[in-house]
């Protein structure tokens, strides 16, 4: 396989996504702008050490770094063990503690593609209440939060404040897609779903609270949440680097009471 054109395209794409000039990148990694240009044109092949420094300077996701190393003919630098591997037992325990301690408020473990890998009791109740399709046959793989958003009876249909929450969520998704280009088809589907609902995504409604609150219509009444995210610090495994825990907090007393009543 001829990999010569692949690595330059990868490096150009990452730099363009980060909006960094060749000169700025050259200053960051201590080479000339001419050398950066030659590598991006495929006229020069970086050493493994330079390529690692290059990818670090661009803050490329670990999976992208491994791919670039392979394209250059080098061995990957970061492990890719899946969740469930004995070597990630400490990380699994940490995730389980985060989920359990957040009950009865919902918490999800998400990967870079927004697949839902783990849920606590609050999250399972919320999924069953808003989108029963989330509790599907596990043999089909984990549910994907973006797919559940665009489903005809999914999260978009439940939003009570789509003009406020939809554009803000789409903006975050577009930032994620810069780091994970495979996300773009799903991000475009979310944008299309919002547009079909008449939401002008470039013109978000300014939030009325210090934290963005997402409100859902549900069979038990309106549910309102704001979110925080937890990630692993300085992971050296691709799997762990892609994970985050989304913690939902009740934004009003009615939501808090409904969750406590449902899960007491």
Q: Give residue 199's pLDDT band: very low, low, confident or very high (50, 70, 90).
A: confident
Domain of 126? 86-263
Bridge partners of 244, per DSSP, are: 110
Assess whether 65 and 168 both reside in one domain.
no
Question: What is the pTM for the complete model shown?
Answer: 0.83
Assess whether 94 and 10 both reside in one domain.
no
Question: How high is the pLDDT of residue 254?
Answer: 97
Assess whether 164 and 225 both reside in one domain.
yes
Question: How high is the pLDDT of residue 168?
Answer: 87
Question: How high is the pLDDT of residue 1?
Answer: 38
Q: If you average pLDDT over residues 84-93, what whole number do you get?
A: 94
Is residue 76 one of the residues assigned to a domain?
A: no
Assess whether 259 and 165 both reside in one domain.
yes
**What confidence tens digit (pLDDT) does each residue in 139-159 have?**
677 899 999 999 888 899 999
Q: How many helices (H) and strands (E) does the chain have?
A: 13, 5
Assess whether 220 and 92 both reside in one domain.
yes
Assess whether 126 and 190 both reside in one domain.
yes
Q: How many C-beta neighbours within 10 Å does residue 30 have? A: 9
Question: How high is the pLDDT of residue 206?
Answer: 57
Are the CB atoms for 8 and 22 separated by under 8 Å? no
Counting the structural domains of the chain, the total is 2
The tokens for 111 are 């990967």
Assess whether 135 and 14 both reside in one domain.
no
**What confidence tens digit (pLDDT) does each residue in 69-78 have?**
999 999 999 9
Q: What is the CATH number of the domain that holds 202?
A: 3.30.450.180
Q: If you average pLDDT over residues 187-196, what whole number do you get?
A: 93
Q: Which of 47, 71, 95 is the last residue of a domain?
A: 71
Handedness of CA 156, 158, 164, 169 (dihedral sign): negative
Assess whether 121 and 241 both reside in one domain.
yes
Burial 173-198 (b: 16+ CB within 10 A, else e): bbebbbbbeebeebbeebbebbeeee
Is residue 1 one of the residues assigned to a domain?
A: no
Assess whether 52 and 127 both reside in one domain.
no
């Amino acid at each position: 396989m001829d990999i010569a054109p692949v690595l330059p395209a990868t490096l150009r794409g990452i730099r363009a996504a980060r909006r960094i000039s060749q000169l700025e990148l050259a200053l960051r990694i201590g080479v000339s702008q001419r050398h950066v240009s030659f590598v991006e044109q495929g006229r020069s092949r970086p050493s493994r050490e330079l390529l690692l420094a290059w990818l670090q300077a661009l803050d490329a996701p670990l999976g992208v770094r491994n791919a670039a190393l392979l394209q250059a003919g080098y061995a990957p630098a970061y492990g890719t063990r899946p969740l469930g591997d004995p070597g990630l037992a400490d990380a699994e325990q940490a995730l389980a503690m985060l989920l359990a301690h957040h009950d009865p408020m919902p918490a999800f473990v998400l990967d870079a593609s927004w697949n839902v890998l783990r849920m606590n009791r609050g999250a399972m109740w919320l999924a069953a209440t808003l989108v029963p399709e989330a509790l599907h046959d596990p043999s089909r793989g984990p549910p994907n939060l973006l797919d559940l958003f665009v489903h005809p009876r999914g999260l978009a249909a439940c939003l009570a404040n789509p003009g406020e929450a939809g554009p803000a969520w789409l903006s975050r998704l577009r930032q994620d897609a810069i780091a994970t280009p495979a996300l773009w088809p799903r991000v475009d589907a979310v944008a299309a779903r919002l547009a079909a609902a008449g939401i002008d995504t470039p013109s978000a409604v300014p939030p009325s609270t210090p934290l963005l609150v997402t409100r859902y219509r549900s069979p038990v009444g309106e549910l309102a949440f704001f979110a925080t995210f937890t990630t692993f610090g300085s992971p050296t495994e691709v799997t762990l680097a892609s994970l985050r825990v989304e913690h939902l907090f009740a934004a009003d007393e009615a939501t808090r009471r409904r969750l406590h009543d449902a899960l007491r």
